[in-house]
Amino acid sequence: MNLAAETDLKAPWLDAIKWNEDGLVPVITQDYLSGRVLTHAWLNKEALALAQQEGRAVYWSRSRAKLWRKGEESGFIQKLHATYLDCDGDTVCFMVEQIGGIACHTGRESCFYRKLEDEQWHNVDPVLKDPKAIYAK
């Protein structure tokens, strides 16, 4: 199934974005109620168009070189509430409802769980679910 054929990648709103040389743009994902930053990821045109079409976070995985629907393996999907573009047009922000409360593959609420204090990184968020249980196959 060719998703690009079903998705309008020539929509004018996609042209407002300054895609990098790899055809990507960074996306910050935040909880739509608390504003907490959950993740940083990447989008290509198809991922962004599909996210808008499906109402859920869809990213481009650079390590796997493929589309990645958040929660496709873990079940912890991100329901899309709003999408913003920054003033320079080079960063997107998704405002989402994090289903299940876990956004990070480490089993935490946010990927940003390490805080710099006294020149050392400290884990400040608990693991809510063991990653081995999340990704057991």
pTM: 0.91
Q: What is the pLDDT of residue 18?
A: 98
Single out the residue of 93, 87, 57, 53 nearest to residue 74, CA to CA.
57
Single out the residue of 74, 63, 66, 76 nearest to residue 46, CA to CA.
66
Regions of the chain where pLDDT drops below 50: 1-5
By the 8 A CB rule, do 52 and 83 touch?
A: yes
Spans of all domains in the chain: 22-134
The CA distance from 14 to 84, in Å, is 12
Q: What is the pLDDT of residue 9?
A: 87
The CA distance from 61 to 7, in Å, is 18
* Residues in CB range of 137: below 8 A, 6 or more apart: none
DSSP 56: B
CATH C-level class of 22-134: alpha beta
* Residues in CB range of 23: below 8 A, 6 or more apart: 44, 45
